[in-house]
Chain A
Amino acid sequence: GDSVTQMEGPVTLSEEAFLTINCTYTATGYPSLFWYVQYPGEGLQLLLKATKADDKGSNKGFEATYRKETTSFHLEKGSVQVSDSAVYFCALSGALLGRRALTFGSGTRLQVQP
Chain B
Amino acid sequence: DADVTQTPRNRITKTGKRIMLECSQTKGHDRMYWYRQDPGLGLRLIYYSFDVKDINKGEISDGYSVSRQAQAKFSLSLESAIPNQTALYFCATSEGGRSYEQYFGPGTRLTVT
Chain A interface residues (CB < 8 Å from chain B): 4, 32, 34, 36, 41-46, 49, 89, 93, 96-97, 99-102, 104-107
Q: Given the complex, which residues of B lie within 8 Å of A93, measured CB to CB?
A: 100
Expressed in whole angstroms, the Cα–Cα distance for A97 and B47 within the complex equals 11
The 9 nearest A-B residue pairs measured at CB:
A43-B104, A104-B42, A93-B100, A44-B104, A106-B42, A104-B43, A43-B106, A43-B105, A32-B100
Q: Given the complex, which residues of B lie within 8 Å of A34, measured CB to CB?
A: 100-101
CB contact between A101 and one of B33, B40, B90, B107 (< 8 Å): that residue: B33
Q: Is the CB of B107 within 8 A of A43?
A: yes
Q: Given the complex, which residues of A lie within 8 Å of B50, measured CB to CB?
A: 100
Q: Is the CB of B48 within 8 A of A97?
A: yes
How extensive is the interface on chain B, given as a class? 20 to 34
Expressed in whole angstroms, the Cα–Cα distance for A2 and B104 within the complex equals 22
Expressed in whole angstroms, the Cα–Cα distance for A45 and B48 within the complex equals 19
Give the distance to chain A from B65, nearest Cβ to Cβ, in Å: 18
- A-B pairs with beta carbons under 8 Å apart, 14 shown: A42-B107, A43-B4, A43-B92, A43-B104, A43-B106, A46-B101, A46-B102, A93-B100, A100-B48, A101-B33, A101-B48, A102-B45, A104-B42, A106-B40
